A and B are shown apart, each in its own frame.
Chain A
């Protein structure tokens, strides 16, 4: 493989990794705050994609408006799931929460299959105004307009998220709750509001990811979120679950690894390699790149 192809493949990896990174952020934030692996998180992407499709196909909205609607719907669905399914179980064992999350995941996937059918919905003709633009050529490296938008939006979202967590009062509250839930509560931080807010931010990121996803891969199907969610989860673990920069780095890393594996003609091994990474990380360095070693008191 020569250098220009290699560089092109790295761009491909960054593009698919962007979506993984955005989803991984949601996993990581929620885990950081209530120690829940929210396996329904991947399906929020699917909800967002269907929302965008509905807006564009049925209501004829402009793709940009539809994108905004997708983010809003994802956020609301994410928050409602937390309210309905997770908050009643806040004092229950963590395994119950986890099982509930898996249940919600199946509910969303099968519910959407029931309502919209199991076939994929095509959105190519609707998103065309968002994806048709000049591609960037740097020497022999061609970066498509879609890739530019995807990577750019992801980086912007991450900057915004970092500012939000570091500079705002709610961000401070989030950090405090993840540090020590009990102490934070004693300091007068509203637990419900902070957790709700965390789900809202995570789901909004998933909503953004869903829009980027259907721009790059213009189809929405009921099960589109399941494999995507699992891979984003691997990305979150690789980066160190609970860590925001970790989720970003993990997402990009998984994207690049997958692109290189496929480019080498081993596409059938792509998923296998990703999950092998998960196993290796858990065996060798369970805290990932940026995770903190948590001493668990039993």
Chain B
């Protein structure tokens, strides 16, 4: 038996070694600058992780940004000046992102669009805040991007940093409101992935908002990453028979949870966040029927959205891959509108007053129509916009309303 134990130890070691280290293998930061040269231009810096892990997000954002600016330049630019994009790849790495930002400073940009991931965006935001450089991110959802210390309600706010996407808690609150007003729920349950800041963040916000609205949260169940069996948690939830069950996570888990819940005889309505996109393929149509999730972007919902989708496909030869592309498009739109305001005041391009004028104009944005919603910023520079409610109907993810 000693031999057996020794063998086992060897095996355990081997597995743990194999589990270690797949490093990132991004290339050297390669800058690419596009746009017209000659004549006076307005230089806008773009930071996106267009290589490495999660490059899918970075590329979508960069494509969205460039699409808007190309269209703007084609229609005459801002105040007769062309907008010149100076784009660097930050590889999703905070240090590389800061270096890339320093290069943008040397290049003399007057505003920054980016970065894409939360970590890189916060790192860059620290730098832009120092020099009061206008910055907007299309996709970093953590509260800490625009607020120095998200734990502290009195915290200093990075007045120069904006975003075009929701913040994490927003979706949880939105869905609690929806459960209360639209589903008429009086009891709710949540099932979330413990240790995932996205899933836990949404779940916590949902529970807090439910308590505020008087919806009783009868069960709150966690599961760990990689679980496929949710029967134990669902049995606990079934015993409470809640009106709605909120499960904020990505579509693969959701498919399993909903299928097992229905098999266990749970008839409650399921609600979720934007991680649900694509869930229709992961559970049967009957099981999903009537479930609702909120999303930052409703494909094919309005004429503007359809036009954007056609333009995107014409420019890049592929369909809009995810909500990151339209969010990038909106971020560029918000930034360019604010720049137009600064130009209208006749300030010198790139000067400190010019940058402050951009920031003021951005903060004053009121009701600007984007692809993903109508923009107004709150006092923490987060957009207040309606979420697209997507309903699962006959096995299709169908846009139902802006809520």
A160 within 8 A of partner (CB):
no
What separation, in Å, do the CA atoms of A220 and B331 have in the docked complex?
A: 38
What separation, in Å, do the CA atoms of A224 and B10 have in the docked complex?
A: 23
B33 within 8 A of partner (CB):
no
A164 within 8 A of partner (CB):
no
User: At the interface with chain A, which of B76-84, B201-209, B280-288?
Assistant: B280-288
A135 touches B265 (CB 8 A): yes
Contacts of A259 in B (CB 8 A): 231-232
A243 within 8 A of partner (CB):
no
B236 within 8 A of partner (CB):
yes
A15 touches B7 (CB 8 A): no
Select from chain A the residue with minimum beta-carbon distance to B283. Answer: A124
Q: Taking the nearest CB of chain A, how far is it from the CB of B79, in angstroms?
A: 47
Partner of B226, one of A16, A102, A227, A286: A227
CB within 8 Å for A270 and B5 given contacts A142-B265, A219-B252, A262-B232: no
How many chain B residues touch A (CB < 8 A): the figure is 45
Contacts of B231 in A (CB 8 A): 12, 15-16, 259
A270 touches B256 (CB 8 A): no
A5 within 8 A of partner (CB):
yes
Chain A proximity mask over B210-249: 1 for CB below 8 Å, otherwise 0: 0000000000011110111101110110110000000000
A144 touches B264 (CB 8 A): yes
CB within 8 Å for A122 and B263 given contacts A218-B255, A268-B194, A286-B4: no
Q: Taking the nearest CB of chain A, how far is it from the CB of B391, in angstroms?
A: 19
Select from chain A the residue with minimum beta-carbon distance to B194. Answer: A268
Contacts of B239 in A (CB 8 A): 4-5, 8
Partner of A262, one of B1, B2, B223, B285: B223
Contacts of B18 in A (CB 8 A): 106
How many chain A residues touch B (CB < 8 A): the figure is 52
A289 within 8 A of partner (CB):
no
Contacts of B367 in A (CB 8 A): none
What separation, in Å, do the CA atoms of A119 and B282 have in the docked complex?
A: 11
B255 touches A12 (CB 8 A): no
B1 touches A294 (CB 8 A): yes
Partner of A124, one of B3, B10, B223, B284: B284
B260 within 8 A of partner (CB):
yes
Contacts of A112 in B (CB 8 A): none
A16 touches B229 (CB 8 A): yes
Chain B proximity mask over A169-186: 1 for CB below 8 Å, otherwise 0: 000000000000000000
Select from chain B the residue with minimum beta-carbon distance to A213. Answer: B228
Q: Taking the nearest CB of chain A, how far is it from the CB of B282, in angstroms?
A: 5
A98 touches B260 (CB 8 A): no
Chain B proximity mask over A263-286: 1 for CB below 8 Å, otherwise 0: 101011011000000000010001
What separation, in Å, do the CA atoms of A267 and B232 have in the docked complex?
A: 9
B221 touches A265 (CB 8 A): yes
A219 touches B282 (CB 8 A): yes
What separation, in Å, do the CA atoms of A120 and B263 have in the docked complex?
A: 20
B14 touches A268 (CB 8 A): no
Select from chain B the residue with minimum beta-carbon distance to A291. Answer: B1
Name B6-24 residues within 8 Å CB distance of A.
Answer: 7-8, 10-11, 14-15, 18
B195 within 8 A of partner (CB):
yes
B132 within 8 A of partner (CB):
no
Contacts of A4 in B (CB 8 A): 239
Q: Taking the nearest CB of chain A, how far is it from the CB of B15, in angstroms?
A: 8
CB within 8 Å for A218 and B256 given contacts A265-B221, A296-B1: yes
A39 within 8 A of partner (CB):
yes
B223 touches A144 (CB 8 A): no
Partner of B1, one of A94, A95, A263, A286: A286
B4 touches A144 (CB 8 A): no
Chain A proximity mask over B343-365: 1 for CB below 8 Å, otherwise 0: 00000000000000000000000
A95 touches B10 (CB 8 A): yes
Name B294-313 residues within 8 Å CB distance of A.
Answer: none
A122 touches B235 (CB 8 A): no
A258 touches B232 (CB 8 A): yes
Q: Taking the nearest CB of chain A, how far is it from the CB of B322, in angstroms?
A: 14
A167 within 8 A of partner (CB):
no
What separation, in Å, do the CA atoms of A261 and B284 have in the docked complex?
A: 29
Chain B proximity mask over A48-60: 1 for CB below 8 Å, otherwise 0: 0000000000000
Select from chain B the residue with minimum beta-carbon distance to A293. Answer: B1
Contacts of A268 in B (CB 8 A): 194-195, 222, 224
Name A113-167 residues within 8 Å CB distance of B.
Answer: 119-120, 122, 124-125, 128, 131, 135, 142, 144-147
B235 touches A8 (CB 8 A): yes
Contacts of A15 in B (CB 8 A): 231
Contacts of B265 in A (CB 8 A): 135, 142, 144
A271 touches B224 (CB 8 A): yes
What separation, in Å, do the CA atoms of A258 and B232 have in the docked complex?
A: 9
B73 within 8 A of partner (CB):
no
B259 within 8 A of partner (CB):
yes
B224 touches A9 (CB 8 A): no
Partner of B282, one of A124, A287, A294: A124
A216 within 8 A of partner (CB):
yes
A146 touches B263 (CB 8 A): yes
Chain B proximity mask over A98-110: 1 for CB below 8 Å, otherwise 0: 1100100010000
B228 touches A286 (CB 8 A): no
CB within 8 Å for A217 and B264 given contacts A102-B11, A265-B222, A267-B223: no
B252 touches A120 (CB 8 A): yes
A sample of 6 cross-chain residue pairs with beta-carbon separation below 8 angstroms, ordered by A number, consists of A8-B238, A16-B229, A124-B259, A216-B229, A268-B194, A271-B224
New contact pairs (15) apart from A8-B239, A120-B282, A286-B5, CB-CB < 8 Å:
A8-B238, A13-B232, A98-B7, A120-B252, A125-B284, A125-B285, A135-B265, A146-B263, A216-B260, A261-B232, A263-B232, A265-B221, A267-B221, A268-B222, A286-B4
Pick the 7 closest A-B CB pairs, nearest first: A262-B232, A12-B231, A144-B263, A217-B228, A263-B232, A259-B232, A122-B282
Partner-B contacts on A (CB < 8 A) = 4-5, 8-9, 12-13, 15-16, 37, 39, 94-95, 98-99, 102, 106, 119-120, 122, 124-125, 128, 131, 135, 142, 144-147, 216-219, 224, 227, 241, 258-263, 265, 267-268, 270-271, 282, 286-287, 294, 296
